Structure 1
């Protein structure tokens, strides 16, 4: 029985209770959301046995964050990938996608599922060529199903399947054309297969057989966005919308089979288009959870694309996106290293949290209020405890120790919080006098040397 089957039967599973506890919501809210398809809990039965910490993705829940990693043909450095896994776990990722695409990747995938409590996702098509030792153009429907079944048996919680890129969508792409063509790696492989053989996309053609495999292991299908815009020029164009229409149809078919669904979304998109795209997906795909890469709101932030993606990610989450795939500073340039993973993950967590505040997720603002209270009292340790990356905050402060305790080198003794605190404690703040003495009757009146700042810093 899948999570969706159980929810529809009125059963609250262990994983639903775990999600409810983490999110501080009622279990019934989670059950009802899973039953309706508005919430997915990617939880392969095998990974549950191995210690998965289940997370819910969808309406009314905290925006989740995914980290990509994996072995590439140019850099097959498994120890470095394990360092990335540690960073993902330490710095608050909810899921890891193993995007290994070179050689025999099963050993790494199995070990990852055995060792991490985070949700694990894969793109079986990446593994097909190495797993089967066959050229791309010779892959059949039976072949791709074999790879999907292997991933499911290993314990993969969610799989990106580019099933919506069928020949109808292909015709739209060829007719309307694009500036950046197809930038989805999986999409490009399906494109090559269909164009070379003239056949239908095997994932679309054998979709019912695919669903049977996923249902047997309770694997969530992440409907891949082969036609996502790879530049702001191509965002929400005819090809992307044509595929989104197909994904909506496949979403309903998956639900009918008891398979949970996440729908993947855009990669590049101008900031003013983000909210409309989120609403379009929700409408066409029946309010299924939406999983977006960024989106990157400009194409020229190379080297800083974790920032361009965080801007778009915050806007997307605020407008209803449920899951953000991180983007690192290495995007468009190289395989990310360990530091890139940390930078990208924290930037994406900031975006997700900002979105949660905007859409009113219960309790989202509580940590910000706690941080503000600590800042008012200039309590560094409490501020670090509230920070998304406490280590980085401590490191930055330690690089420039302040002369006056309870300040930083930005304002020194002119720290606004310190000034107001001292006045309210009845102490002098005239920087020309010996501080610490009781304030004179007029000490609270602003002077030429006493800033009357309304906030911290300038």
Structure 2
């Protein structure tokens, strides 16, 4: 009994009293934005087990009615306010096997550089100024309809193994600047995934894999005590504007089903969930009352809505739970703690592990990717790389191979809190045990001492592990460990992780990754301030910081900033030397620069070795 008490205490993160009972039926009022999906009888009858109605509690959480006209006025920052002098563009392509037209989005930054009038950037913002009641255009409907009912399994991996290049594969190839055959081969190999539920017709596909651009995920979702549907839709739009590649809806509060429906119909990027959260709501927040039937029903409900990937903590096995006893922070994963509590109470194996093949069958039917959760990830530097963490990772490898056998796409989730010197071991073990399936990590956070700044502590680890091969990074906001993030926190987390992902792309020497750095550095050296701002990850903040001390249009043509002023600007001094060399016939070569610096040195000596002079000197003669 002592062990059971200790283990349960270590496993629990949140009291069940905070849980809400879900809506058990999809509200008819959502029909205005839901697709008319033809569903075979097997979906509703054979796979879904009817559960007894659960009596709702009397607890309620105020939320603004999403059908109030005010809801349609939700607007993120207008595109051109966030990205001045940029335009949303589309590259057109044709999928040769079907003739389907593809419109691949990108952002064009217009520059003042005569040598390079614009730079094109990856863009995930999706269509703008769309009424959330209507949802986004269903760009994949034609693609999906053409394949429906013609294949044994409906997954990108299955198609790739057959040698097919789908519309989704060609779409991401155009986005990444690689060949479609390379994309197909990486998916068939299991080293990359395209998370694309056949019911998420609004999706603009993208690829996750170590041979492609590093992607970032943003988390949103309501909780039992804060947020509402319209706030979550606004966070979605805000996240895609600033560059989130995927989104996880981690709602645990009221109206989980409706919140997810609004998110799905308005999301141009893949959406993932942790289904155990909603399953827990269906049993009044009592983990011990969970069972496979409730969990399966939840999976199918979310699959029908179009969820692109599930995080399932099937590697939290009964025999691993006792290994967490001596941890500093126990089990910090919400999903991991739910499974651990259930395992211990029933003294049975994890029902997700036991029913893994049935989970795979559901995913294969809808083309849902599995993000195998790291429910035993370390929640402190003290616990990093311990027995519990690596035992679960090893089991992830087993589950990955079983998924591939059924052509289900997989990525593996990773830590967590890990100091810099222990990060490489995580990457090595994942590549080995999980056969190079995409790795998806939460940071890792490299120190525990900075609450309020964990977007920084984690971005340091994220850049390191991504440079070693991690395919996607789950962002961390300044509110990590402290509270539910608002939109400013979401932006801060996304920007920190865009920096980490880009730094990793540079380290991997991904083709074209350095183009933006080169363009911004050239603009900086040539004092093209507007181009510097517009090429930045966050143009608004860059401009605001500059204008705090040098405001007005005149400052945008100044050959200095407030850091050094006009006399100490290193780039201005270098430019002066180059101009001097060119005017004296040296050209801009190392020899010319050396000659120019020698003449300036002699002039310095002639003036008595004085750094500052009373009168300016003429160096033009």
1:45-84 to structure 2, matched below 5 A, reads 45-47=198-200, 49=201, 51-84=202-235
**In the alignment, structure 1 residue 129 sits paired with structure 2 residue 283:** no
Deviation at 1:133, TM superposition (A): 4.8
Does the 8 Å CA contact 1:165/1:201 hold for their aligned counterparts?
yes
1:268-283 to structure 2, matched below 5 A, reads 268-283=417-432
Aligned pair partner of 2:453 in 295, 304, 312: 304
More helix by share: 1
Deviation at 1:134, TM superposition (A): 6.5
Aligned pair partner of 1:419 in 546, 570, 573: 573
Does the 8 Å CA contact 1:66/1:94 hold for their aligned counterparts?
yes
Does the 8 Å CA contact 1:103/1:130 hold for their aligned counterparts?
no
**In the alignment, structure 1 residue 17 sits paired with structure 2 residue 152:** no
Question: Highest Rg: 1 or 2?
Answer: 2
Q: Counterpart in 1 of 2:42? A: none
Unaligned runs of 5+ in 1: 428-438, 451-458
SS at match of 2:423: helix
TM-score for the superposition, normalised by structure 1: 0.91
2-structure distance, mates of 1:270, 1:443: 49
Does the 8 Å CA contact 1:229/1:240 hold for their aligned counterparts?
yes
SS at match of 1:336: coil
Matched length:
436
1:313-324 to structure 2, matched below 5 A, reads 313-324=462-473
Change (3 A) 1:111 1:78: closer
2-structure distance, mates of 1:382, 1:202: 55
2-structure distance, mates of 1:416, 1:66: 39
Q: Counterpart in 1 of 2:393? A: 244
Does the 8 Å CA contact 2:232/2:263 hold for their aligned counterparts?
no
Per-residue CA deviation, residues 377-408 of structure 1 (Å, 9 max, x unaligned), is 11112212321111111111121116862321
Does the 8 Å CA contact 2:232/2:259 hold for their aligned counterparts?
no
2-structure distance, mates of 1:200, 1:210: 16
Q: Counterpart in 2 of 1:227? A: 376
**In the alignment, structure 1 residue 448 sits paired with structure 2 residue 597:** no
Does the 8 Å CA contact 1:282/1:288 hold for their aligned counterparts?
yes
2-structure distance, mates of 1:134, 1:337: 25
Per-residue CA deviation, residues 343-368 of structure 1 (Å, 9 max, x unaligned), is 11100110111111112212111211
Does the 8 Å CA contact 1:172/1:242 hold for their aligned counterparts?
no
**In the alignment, structure 1 residue 339 sits paired with structure 2 residue 483:** no
After superposition, the CA RMSD in angstroms is: 2.1
2-structure distance, mates of 1:26, 1:235: 39
TM-score for the superposition, normalised by structure 2: 0.68
SS at match of 1:240: helix
1:256-267 to structure 2, matched below 5 A, reads 256-267=405-416
SS at match of 1:425: helix
Deviation at 1:154, TM superposition (A): 0.5
Does the 8 Å CA contact 1:144/1:202 hold for their aligned counterparts?
no
**In the alignment, structure 1 residue 106 sits paired with structure 2 residue 257:** yes
2-structure distance, mates of 1:282, 1:127: 32
Aligned pair partner of 1:384 in 518, 533, 540: 533
2-structure distance, mates of 1:236, 1:134: 31
Aligned pair partner of 1:8 in 153, 157, 161: 161
Deviation at 1:171, TM superposition (A): 4.3
In terms of mean alpha carbon deviation, does 214-223 or 391-400 score higher? 391-400
Unaligned runs of 5+ in 2: 1-153, 582-595, 605-609, 614-621
Q: Counterpart in 1 of 2:303? A: 152
In terms of mean alpha carbon deviation, does 272-281 or 181-190 score higher? 272-281
Q: Counterpart in 2 of 1:410? A: 563
Deviation at 1:334, TM superposition (A): 0.6
**In the alignment, structure 1 residue 294 sits paired with structure 2 residue 448:** no
Per-residue CA deviation, residues 27-55 of structure 1 (Å, 9 max, x unaligned), is 111100000100011011111x2x20111
1-structure distance, mates of 2:383, 2:273: 26
